[in-house]
Amino acid sequence: MSDQHIHQSFETRAIHAGNTADPLTGAVVPPIYQVSTYKQDGVGGLRGGYEYSRSANPTRTALEENLAALEGGRRGLAFASGLAAEDCLLRTLLVPGDHVVIPNDAYGGTFRLFAKVVQRWGVDFSVADTSDIESVRGALNERTKLIWVETPSNPLLGITDIAAVAGVARQAGVKLVVDNTFASPYLQQPLSMGADVVVHSLTKYMGGHSDVVGGALVAADEALGEELAYHQNAMGAVAGPFDSWIVLRGIKTLAVRMDRHSENASRVVEMLTQHPKVTKVLYPGLPDHPGHEIAVKQMKDFGGMVSFRVEGGEQAAVDVCNRAKLFTLGESLGGVESLIEHPGRMTHASVAGSALEVPADLVRLSVGIENVDDLLADLRQALG
């Protein structure tokens, strides 16, 4: 993170960090450098360090500087997808024979990466309830190199005490990685609580408009950031210049969008808790949520993701999803439009039969920024 942004507010950093006016024209928005290679001033005479756009591209650099500033990290890196970022991180930090602790409630794609790809490479993992410190400690062994956390988690909205798990990681001499996708850096900054690396799917709240796929890593330590950057270039799954530009544009309104997402979600939760066909609402803003006090401590607000369980089992949950009209039936989350899905058959089908299997009667909402009364009316008719 550039020193010039250290004392600026989040909203100011979101708009200005990395967004330097174009020196040629004065354009206030960084250009899209849709280019693969760069003219050298003599052999090895690079302008600004740019030689080939897999290694570095000015538009991607602007995004990476912005990401580091928002998370309070020393190095930000942008990738073609969230899973590309995760893959780079794991292959940078781990070697065959290593062990990782992963949460018992995690994104299905993350679990698939560990169970179907990384494990074949000789890296083992154990599942722990990361909201329970003793469960995390009990999952560690002499080969553990990494603790992986999602908070809030996907799709059960579990909360993990980042500072407490960071203490366990330090004591064990292992790295702590936090997937901050659900919260975004506006609501939560894990590096300030002791995490070593933050992971994002930029596709979600950071981009915010369901029009781009991307991923990011932000490292607290300069040396680790350099190591990740080496592997980013060596492996090559980088964010393209247009995608980087789209994410940068989305980030500029992140703060105001997250305020509205959170406000709308709280109204949705209020309605769902009173609905006779809803058996349980999962949202860290509820006082009876087991992680509520920790969420109050480490989050600015509670975000736009809501999950709930319905009477009637799996088919009833599927029917709710199918009857929704304003809530679009679809995977992903974090866009300005509201989405509804059935995790067991959609985003988390890959964890079926595992320790991460989700309840069959679960419905997940990504509450958008539409008029909340319209959203409430749609949910009421979908619930029947």
Task: Residue 29: count other Cβ atoms within 10 Å of its Cβ.
Answer: 13
DSSP state of 221: S
- Spell out the SS3 assignment of 324-376: CCCCEECCCCCCCCCEEECCCCCCCHHHCCCCCCCCCCEEEEECCCCCHHHHH
**Considering Cα of 60, then 61, then 62, then 64, what sign does the dihedral take?**
positive
Tokens of 351: 């964890």
In 3D, which of 167, 147, 77, 150 has the Cα closest to residue 110? 150
Q: What are phi and psi of 149, to 5 degrees?
A: -130, 140
In 3D, which of 74, 62, 97 has the Cα closest to residue 242? 62
Q: Which residues are catalytic?
A: 54, 107, 179, 204
d(CA 221, CA 180): 17
- Nearest-5° angle of CA 112, CA 113, CA 118? 125
Tokens of 75: 């190095």
d(CA 211, CA 224): 31
